[in-house]
Structure 1
Amino acid sequence: MDAVLVLNADLGPLHRVPIKHAIRMLLRQVAEIHEAEPDRLIGVFPMPKVLRLVRYVVTRWRYTNGPAWSKSGVLRRDDRRCGYCLGVATTVDHIVPRARGGRNTWQNTISACYSCNQRKADLTLAEAGMQLLLQPSVPTWLGTMQR
């Protein structure tokens, strides 16, 4: 187990934290165990799977915008599959090339394998004779909690 889900006091998902951070939250008494693995202990605490905060944290900002764009976020969104050939993706490609005004946005980037990224280069999809097999989407905070 590499991360523990943290729930708000109203049981809404907030984020995931490493196990060390989860134990610190328990020691500071800002959270309590909501769900734990049976028969596994860390000191006096059962191994937590889910923590619930003791007090409600206002998260209005979380619902106004999705997660910020990042290369690792694009790869995670596309499950590391190439948007052109469905192979293993290691890079991120701009659908509208940056040289032609394309920007780093969720809608303009797709995961790509090295060979597809090189083949497309600074061309549009039509110029390169390629088509998208995956459609780019803007992830939501709820989608990031489910991973």
Structure 2
Amino acid sequence: MLLLNASYEPLTTVSLRRAILLVLREKADVVHGDAAGSVLRSTTNMLPVPSVIRLRRYVRVPYRRRVPLTRAALMRRDNHHCAYCGRRAETIDHVIPRSRGGGHLWENCVASCKQCNHRKADRLLDELGWTLNVTPRVPRGVSWRLINGAEHGDPQWEPYISHIAA
């Protein structure tokens, strides 16, 4: 679910549970319902499943120049594939190990399968003769900066995020 500020600026994406709680606690209003027209029912209430909700009060959000490095975002960036062998990734690896001065930065972190991560340990790629299948970069674009790299945005979100510069 896309969460908008009171000024209709996109803030982030939230889970269905969080969206429903915000609406039920009267902190947000449903702007667009689910495209399928789904409805949540309880013994006393009926609520359309939201696709876009808007906060009732304005929330000041500091501008972030860089996308925050999280495990979920890194896995999305690397498409859940190991940067060394291409298999399904389950862990994060630092290309230059932190024990050797490497930082916890987008440019130094890649998704990795457990086997490659274990075999690499705290060694450099040159020591193993390995190469990276991808070059680790900072993600760019509206979806990364504002909505946490949501993989599949709802078409109903387009009017709210199309005007924002990447």
| Structure 1 and Structure 2 fold alike (TM over 0.5) | yes
**Partner residue, 1:32:** 29
Q: Which residue of 1 aligns with 2:48?
A: 46
**What's the CA shift for 1:99?**
2.4
Aligned residue in 2 for 1:141: 145
* Identity score, percent: 37
Selected match of 1:10 from 4, 7, 12 = 7
Moved more, 34-43 or 126-135: 34-43
Question: What stretches of structure 1 of length at least 5 have no aligned partner?
Answer: none
Aligned to 1:118, the other structure's residue is in SS state: helix
TM-score by length of 2: 0.72
Structure 2 counterpart of 1:77, one-letter code: R
> What is aligned with 2:64?
63
Provide the rounded CA distance (Å) in 2 between the counterparts of 1:114 and 1:21. Answer: 32
Q: Indicate the RMSD between aligned Cα atoms, in angstroms.
A: 2.2
Matched AA of 1:16: T
Q: CA deviation at 1:73?
A: 3.7
Aligned-residue offset at 1:30: 2.4
- The amino acid across from 2:90 in the alignment is T
The whole-number CA distance in structure 2 between the counterparts of 1:128 and 1:82 is: 16
How many correspondences in the alignment? 142
Distance 2:16 2:107 in 1: 34
Instruction: Name 1:102's counterpart in structure 2.
Output: 102
Is the 1:35–1:49 Cα contact (8 Å) retained in structure 2?
Answer: yes
Distance in 2, Cα, partners of 1:81 & 1:143: 22
The normalised TM-score by structure 1 is 0.80
Give, in whole Å, the separation in 2 of the partners of 1:75 and 1:96.
18
Partner of 1:77: 77
